[in-house]
A and B are shown apart, each in its own frame.
Chain A
């Protein structure tokens, strides 16, 4: 039986996966996976549906344990320092935007005033100040996702995990949120692990991308993307982005 440990070397990696295995009934979803992610990295995990991307992310979030192997975390990514953004916004529909954004702080036991101040500041960062008193049913899909992002960022996490968060959004909204996420990562110097099946999104957002195989969750490609640090809409028409996308596509296609 594997386990999750938090021993740790000061200063170094954000997380280190060694020989990680995860099985559902008889199906081996992840098998003997080794992955080291440095602090401050923006890593994209690509792969076809069912390849174990989300399972891997849940294990990193400590929402599921590996059946074998070990995941070691940087001391700074202890409990409450990890945030998770789901595929859909998953807001509490009976709470206002402000109360949704402040929820993690409330669960951690922070007082009303300071948590509202923090939530207010975070909503400002995702341009949602004018929607604080609205309920989720009154928001568009893009706005809901931004609330979800604010809820994840409100604890000032050192490790941000995103599981295909913008997949259901229209392209313009997705581009806008991609830009916003990249900017937030730059400002906060946190480690981001972004699971997606969109090659263009992975290439645009990440500094490093890994491609998982359809079976067994093996890493078929582990690549540092040769793209400028500054990412904006101009890059979307840049041939360098096209080249990186082609490399990722070829890795996705080969089986």
Chain B
């Protein structure tokens, strides 16, 4: 019999993070020495200490920008989650619907965001709506693709079982297809979370406030240290969103799915 306890390694966060922390510390230290030693020009790549100083000096502005970007990215991500799952459910309803609409979803995915961002400004004006739309557009496709794959991969024997007991399409969707697709849906959400932050930053470049706007202004001021500080915070935001999805995944799947039982 398998171990019923599903013990995840809980020896502490530090030992778990150590393998990722070591390269970070080594590269940061090496970069600091390289800039100070004149091997790398500071106006191209600033010393980590300068980036840290820029963060401290501009903390109020950066915190405000980060909150703005967070709100837009999160809203865009939530919209793409709801709409993406809804579209996938619609596409899964018949093969004919899939054949008719799925190619357009794929086509939509291949349109470069940077090319349609000006259009978003024309449609939604300067401000949050454009940024949210940008985050939404870039993050919806992985949600659709993964949810659809998950729903269509439902065990045929279990579909037979539900038919045998007269379950309606809706009951089968909510009690079988949707929970069975949850691992794939969460994989889609992991990818989408990072893309939503990228989409929000691109949207802010073109027509909004937030970290994207800070990067754009700092670039015109030749403040490379501030550009790096804002980019670093954008990455932290992406990581935080990714961590949130991982937490949801752990809570919902830990008892039954192999991906959360190692």
Are B179 and A94 interface neighbours, CB within 8 A? yes
Residue of B163, B164, B257 with highest tally of chain A CB at under 10 A: B164
- Chief secondary structure at chain A's binding surface: loop
Q: Report the minimal beta-carbon distance from B175 to chain A, rounded to whole angstroms.
A: 8
Are B176 and A92 interface neighbours, CB within 8 A? yes
Are B256 and A80 interface neighbours, CB within 8 A? no
In the assembled complex, the Cα of A83 lies from the Cα of B157 at a distance in Å of: 13
Pick the interface stretch among A23-31, A136-144, A196-204: A136-144
The answer to whether B30 has its CB under 8 Å from any CB of chain A is no
- Known: A90-B157, A137-B261, A138-B4. Is A104-B255 also a contact (CB below 8 A)? no
Seen from chain A, the residues whose Cβ lies within 8 Å of a Cβ on chain B are 58, 61-63, 79-80, 82-84, 86, 88, 90, 92-94, 103-104, 106-108, 134-140, 143, 155
- Known: A90-B158, A135-B255. Is A61-B2 also a contact (CB below 8 A)? no
Pick the interface stretch among B106-114, B165-173, B196-204, B219-227: B165-173
The answer to whether B155 has its CB under 8 Å from any CB of chain A is yes
Name the residue of chain B whose CB is nearest to the CB of A151: B161
Report the 4 A-B pairs with minimum CB-CB distance, sorted nearest first: A107-B165, A93-B256, A138-B4, A90-B157
Contact of A86 among B3, B4, B157, B176 (CB under 8 A): B157
The answer to whether B126 has its CB under 8 Å from any CB of chain A is no
Name the residue of chain B whose CB is nearest to the CB of A58: B160
Cβ–Cβ < 8 Å partners of B261 in chain A: 137
Q: Report the minimal beta-carbon distance from B255 to chain A, rounded to whole angstroms.
A: 5
In the assembled complex, the Cα of A79 lies from the Cα of B167 at a distance in Å of: 12
Name the residue of chain B whose CB is nearest to the CB of A136: B256
Are A135 and B256 interface neighbours, CB within 8 A? yes
In the assembled complex, the Cα of A79 lies from the Cα of B258 at a distance in Å of: 35
Are B2 and A138 interface neighbours, CB within 8 A? yes
Question: Mind listing 14 A-B residue pairs with CB under 8 Å?
Answer: A61-B164, A92-B180, A93-B256, A94-B256, A94-B257, A103-B165, A107-B167, A136-B256, A137-B6, A137-B256, A138-B2, A138-B3, A140-B2, A155-B165
Cβ–Cβ < 8 Å partners of A79 in chain B: 166
